[in-house]
Amino acid sequence: MYNLSPLPYSYDALEPVLDKETLEYHHDKHQQAYIDKANALVPGTEFEGKSLEEIVKTAPAGPVYNNAAQAINHELYWNQFQSPREDNRPSGALLEALEQRWGSFEAFQTAFETSGLNNFGSGWTRLVKNADGSLEILNTSNAGNPLSQGKTPLLGIDVWEHSYYIGYRNRRADYLKGCRKLINWDVVAKQY
Fold of the 20-79 domain: Helix Hairpins (1.10.287)
CB count in 10 Å sphere of residue 112: 21
Q: Which residues in the chain belong to E strands, given as ranges?
A: 123-129, 135-141, 152-158
- Note down pLDDT in tens along the chain; length 192 residues: 999 999 999 999 999 999 999 999 999 999 999 999 999 999 999 999 999 999 999 999 999 999 999 999 999 999 999 999 999 999 999 999 999 999 999 999 999 999 999 999 999 999 999 999 999 999 999 999 999 999 999 999 999 999 999 999 999 999 999 999 999 999 999 999
Calpha distance 14→34 (Å, rounded): 23
Radius of gyration for the chain, computed over Cα atoms and rounded to the nearest angstrom: 16
Q: Which amino acid is at 89?
A: R
Q: Where are the domains of the chain?
A: 20-79, 92-191
Q: What strands lie across the sheet with 152-158, from one edge to the other?
A: 135-141, 123-129, 152-158
Calpha distance 70→57 (Å, rounded): 13
Fold of the 92-191 domain: minor pseudopilin epsh fold (3.55.40)
**20-79 with 92-191: one CATH topology?**
no
Q: Residue 143 has what pLDDT?
A: 97
Global pTM reads: 0.95
The CA-based dihedral angle spanning residues 137, 138, 142, 144, taken in that order and rounded to the nearest 10 degrees: -130
CB count in 10 Å sphere of residue 178: 18
CB count in 10 Å sphere of residue 144: 21
